[in-house]
Amino acid sequence: MMDQTTSEIVDFYTGYDEAGRLDRRASFQLERIRTRELLEQHLPPAPASILDVGGGPGAYARPLLAAGYRVRIVDLVPAHVEQARAGQPPIDAIVGDARSLPVPDRSCDATLLLGPLYHLMDRADRVQALREAVRVTRPGGVVLAAAITRFAGPLDFAANGRFTSERLYAEARQILADGRNHPGLGFTHAYFHRVPELAGEFRDAGLTEVTVHGIEGPAWPAAEAATGTPSERTVLDGALALARLYSTEADVVSVSAHLMAVANTPGRR
């Protein structure tokens, strides 16, 4: 049985258009493009088997299928699983929790967690989800996991000029203090990471050779601010170029809206 927090997260995504999210805003477009580039860079060649944990309706699974990968989605939200199965091409998808994957040991070449760490509020649960990724991935395989950065909210406020509400400042102070987003400002229960935290959770799960990328790069707020202006395309292209350039630059990684940690499971294949 789900606890109340998990049930509220499922309810949120059941009523949310996750399938169309990555096309709606400039920062989301940067997220989509850079995530796909990082997957191409770090995944083993097709036809490797990929477990996409928290893969939703299949935003990344479908391009991977088209590239010749064998992909399975495990997602907490039944509506997402139905959408993944019903889309074209249909995706092998099942309902499951990242903390206890219904998948055999060492059964895939790579595991993705491009969402579960956002919504596991306790560190122990996040490490457990990463340990499950280690369990189901073959020795020497790769695990990639996304996280929301601690500063994503305030930078989003700045990009959109939302400086009029004391409630927004209170939210920023809360997230800065403990990383916990509380529902009420358009999102559900979520945890926002600092870069060393994410790397530490990977290491505590037994993963090795950990690298943390900033997904959207340092100029994503500019791309947001330029939306609807004559310079929209130019600024978006420039922000994408900077995201690539500064992908692993330690001093600026945390100003991205999202992080991508990449690591290997122990042992040799």
Q: Which of 22-36, 208-222, 246-260 has the lowest mean pLDDT?
A: 22-36
Domain 4-264, CATH class in plain words? alpha beta
Residue 264 and residue 266: Cα distance in Å, rounded? 6
Q: Are 77 and 12 in contact (CB under 8 A)?
A: no
- Ordered by start, the domain boundaries in the chain are 4-264
Of the two residues 180 and 51, the one the predictor is more confident about is 51
**pLDDT bracket for residue 38 (50, 70, 90):** very high
H-only helix segments in the chain? 4-14, 26-42, 61-66, 78-86, 123-136, 152-159, 166-178, 195-204, 220-225, 232-245
* CA distances, 171 to each of 25, 132, 154 (Å): 22, 32, 9
β-pair partners for 111: 51, 143
Q: pLDDT digit string (tens) for 120-165?
A: 999 999 999 999 999 999 999 999 999 999 998 878 877 777 666 6
Residue 204 and residue 200: Cα distance in Å, rounded? 6
Quote the Cα angle for 224-226-227, to 5°: 70
Q: pLDDT digit string (tens) for 6-21?
A: 898 888 888 776 766 7
The average pLDDT across 209-219 equals 96
**pLDDT bracket for residue 88 (50, 70, 90):** confident
For residue 182, pLDDT over 80 is answered with no
Q: What pLDDT does 211 receive?
A: 98
Query: Nearest to residue 21, comparing CAs of 102, 83, 101?
Result: 83
The average pLDDT across 49-72 equals 96
* CA distances, 229 to each of 119, 160, 255 (Å): 34, 13, 23
Q: pLDDT digit string (tens) for 104-120?
A: 999 999 999 999 999 99
**pLDDT bracket for residue 268 (50, 70, 90):** low
Q: pLDDT digit string (tens) for 236-252?
A: 999 999 999 999 999 99
- Sign, CA dihedral 90-27-39-97, equals negative
Model pTM score: 0.93
